[in-house]
Every structure is written in C-alpha cells, then in structure tokens.
Amino acid sequence: MIIQIILAAIFVIGGLFFLTVSSAGIVRLPDFYSRNHAVGKSETLGSMLILGGLAIYHGFEINSVKLVLILLFIALANPTATHVIARAAARSGLQPWVVKKDKEYTESADGTDDQRINEDMTQGKNHE
C-alpha cells in the first residue's frame, strides 16, 4: 500500500512538473508554432502522468478504469489536435518567427517589433 502511494505521488509530481513547463512555454516562447509544440508535448505528458498516478492511487477499481480510458483518449486526441491546429495556422499563412542573417529579429507573430531588444543585446544588456 505504501509503495502504491509513493508511486502515485511520483507520477502526479512528474505530471505537475510537465504542466508547469508547458505553462512556462506559453509565456516564454516567441511564436505560435514554438508555443504549440511545447504545449502539445508537455501538456499531453503531464496530463497522462497525473491521470496514471491517480489510477495507481485508486488501485483496481472502476474509477481506475475510467481514468485509464480518459488517459487513452488524451493520448490520441492531444497530438492530433495540436497537429491540426498547427496545420490550419500554416495553411492560413501564419509565418514562423525567424532570425535574419544579420542577427536582427523580424517582427514577432503578435506584431510587436523586437528591434529594441536587438539593440540592447548588441550593447550587452540582458532582458531576462
């Protein structure tokens, strides 16, 4: 019983870690495609780990079967939805964020100009 609780706690804590990384990816990454990739991967794994941990915690009960079914649905639906959303963005003409050859940043996906940050980087200032 103690091993079951410890294993469930490890899974849930691992899931929380990946969901936190996913949240940080939304805030820190520069464009839609990077954010979509980071969230699609880490959110799927985080959700699956949490649901797996809850299924382990409940043991062999009907609740565990329901959690495993939800886990399987997430395993199939999240990557598919992420791919479809990225493909729709590409087909609608959304361009990825790129760095020019002369190290100047292009306009971000949200339309803000990164020239000020680029000038500060050449002067040795850090924005992090």
Name the residue type at position 44: T
Instruction: State whether residue 81 is helix, strand or coil.
Output: helix
Beta-bridged to residue 105, according to DSSP, are 99
Task: Indicate yes or no: pTM above 0.75.
Answer: no
What pLDDT digit, counting tens, does each position of 7-57 carry?
999 999 999 999 999 999 899 988 899 899 889 989 999 999 999 999 999
What pLDDT digit, counting tens, does each position of 60-108 carry?
999 999 999 999 999 999 999 999 999 999 999 888 888 776 555 555 5
